[in-house]
């Protein structure tokens, strides 16, 4: 089991609603027929109070393509997350962000 993380900086969002931590994984799970599922969230200890939304995936290197397509085509609470988020993958289900490889933007 691997992991995909979506990092959101509140100052980059049109609507920095905290409900994004639920809306994003629910929508991605729905649109992927539960192939990619919710794995929690955390706030990074940085100056921006970045939110990290974790998603479980059996094949993160493949499933990242679906996640990016969803972020391109959907608005989440009036936010274009494709333009404002950083998305990274990890081959194991790890919450240590230093283990993740940036997939978007490149």
Q: Using one digit for the tens of pLDDT, what is the confidence trace for 46-68?
A: 999 999 999 999 999 999 999 99
How many percent of the chain have pLDDT more than 70? 100
Q: What is the pLDDT of residues 2-30, one digit of tens each?
A: 999 999 999 999 999 999 999 999 999 99
Rounded to an integer, the average pLDDT of 91-95 is: 81
pLDDT at 93 (0 to 100): 78
CA 91 to CA 50: how far, in whole Å? 22
**Four-residue CA torsion sign, 32, 41, 16, 91:** negative
> How many of the other CB atoms lie within 10 Å of CB of 40?
12
Rounded to an integer, the average pLDDT of 71-77 is: 98
Judged against a pLDDT cut of 90, whether residue 83 lies above it is answered with yes
User: Residue 70 CA to chain centroid, in angstroms?
Assistant: 11
Judged against a pLDDT cut of 90, whether residue 95 lies above it is answered with no
């Amino acid at each position: 089991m691997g992991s995909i993380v979506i990092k959101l900086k509140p100052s980059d969002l049109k609507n920095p609603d905290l409900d994004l931590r639920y809306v994003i994984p629910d929508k991605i799970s729905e649109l992927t027929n539960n192939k990619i599922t919710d794995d929690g969230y955390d706030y990074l200890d940085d100056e921006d109070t970045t939110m990290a939304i974790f998603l479980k995936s059996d094949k993160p290197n493949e499933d990242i393509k679906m996640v990016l397509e969803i972020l391109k085509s959907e608005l989440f609470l009036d936010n274009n997350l494709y333009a404002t988020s950083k998305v990274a993958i990890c081959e194991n289900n790890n919450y240590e962000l230093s283990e993740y490889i940036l997939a978007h933007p490149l």
